Amino acid sequence: MEIFFSRKNRIYEMVERYLNKMLETGELFKKTVEKYFETGLSREFKEMIETTHLSESMADDIRREIELEMYEKSLIPESRGDILGLLESTDEVMNKAQSVLYQIETENLEIPEELHEDFLKLIHNNISAFEVAIDGFRTLFHNLKEVREKIQEVDKRESSSDRMERELIRKIFAGSYDTGKKILLKDLVIEIGNISDMSEEVTDRLNIVAAKRMV
């Protein structure tokens, strides 16, 4: 069932390209954080921040192309608004991921080695939630029932992220770090957790769009 337009449609192809670029950006984000844990605030880490930023900027360019194409093709206003809203909400998730990298860089943040594993697990869980949200967006075009499964999966991962955040913050404040460092680390944990929160906002939009088309 084609929900908005044929898979051979130019807009569909552009959306697919955008979603693939979003997934690529999410993967780059993970690798950049992993590089930070390997090399600290190194030149390689900072170069990877720029590579991630470039990927996100390329996704922005594709999103703007889609917007122009939609207006030129006179897509039904409601459908156009639904798609554009989803594009913008997914873009905001990767903007948040980018801000996490800048936060580490600008604050010259040194995460204690004993916390590396916990931070990595939190990051992987949050990016996983984003990846499922992107998959749900893709599924929206051909199978509305499967969208609900993706929504539930993101909800589970967001709840898991909340638990990880609480446990990691407790560990931070139980540590022997100075108060200023504890606050910076706590803020970073919250910012990372916002990635899954915002991914859930994407699936909230998906839920509304799917519900309208199942009536």
Output the domain CATH number for residue 149.
Answer: 1.20.58.220
Looking at the predicted structure, is the pLDDT value of residue 1 above 50?
A: no
> What percent of the chain has a predicted confidence (pLDDT) above 70?
93
pLDDT at 5: 52
Each residue of 124-147: b (16+ CB within 10 Å) or e? ebbbbbbbbbbbbbbbbbeebeeb
Instruction: Establish if 88 belongs to a structural domain.
Output: yes
Looking at the predicted structure, is the pLDDT value of residue 126 above 80?
A: yes
Q: How far apart are CA 126 and CA 106, in angstroms?
A: 22
Looking at the predicted structure, is the pLDDT value of residue 140 above 50?
A: yes
Instruction: Establish if 162 belongs to a structural domain.
Output: yes
Looking at the predicted structure, is the pLDDT value of residue 184 above 70?
A: yes
Looking at the predicted structure, is the pLDDT value of residue 77 above 60?
A: no
Instruction: Establish if 137 belongs to a structural domain.
Output: yes
Overall domain count for the chain: 1
Looking at the predicted structure, is the pLDDT value of residue 191 above 70?
A: yes
CA angle 83, 70, 65 (to 5 degrees): 95
Instruction: Establish if 3 belongs to a structural domain.
Output: no
Instruction: Establish if 5 belongs to a structural domain.
Output: no
Looking at the predicted structure, is the pLDDT value of residue 113 above 60?
A: yes
Burial class of 79 by CB neighbour count within 10 A (0 to 12, 13 to 18, 19+): middle
Give the mean pLDDT of 33-41: 96
Looking at the predicted structure, is the pLDDT value of residue 7 above 60?
A: no
The more confident residue out of 87 and 5 is 87
Q: How far apart are CA 123 and CA 168, in angstroms?
A: 12
Looking at the predicted structure, is the pLDDT value of residue 51 above 80?
A: yes
Instruction: Establish if 33 belongs to a structural domain.
Output: yes
Instruction: Establish if 23 belongs to a structural domain.
Output: yes
pLDDT at 2: 47
Instruction: Establish if 1 belongs to a structural domain.
Output: no
Query: What end-to-end distance do the CA atoms of the chain give, in Å?
Result: 15
Looking at the predicted structure, is the pLDDT value of residue 38 above 80?
A: yes
Short-list 12, 177, 194, CA closest to 110: 177
Q: Which domain, by its residues, includes 163?
A: 10-214
User: Which H helix or E strand runs over 178?
Assistant: none
> What percent of the chain has a predicted confidence (pLDDT) above 90?
80
Would you tell me the crossing angle of helices 10-39 and 77-106 to the nearest 10 degrees?
A: 10
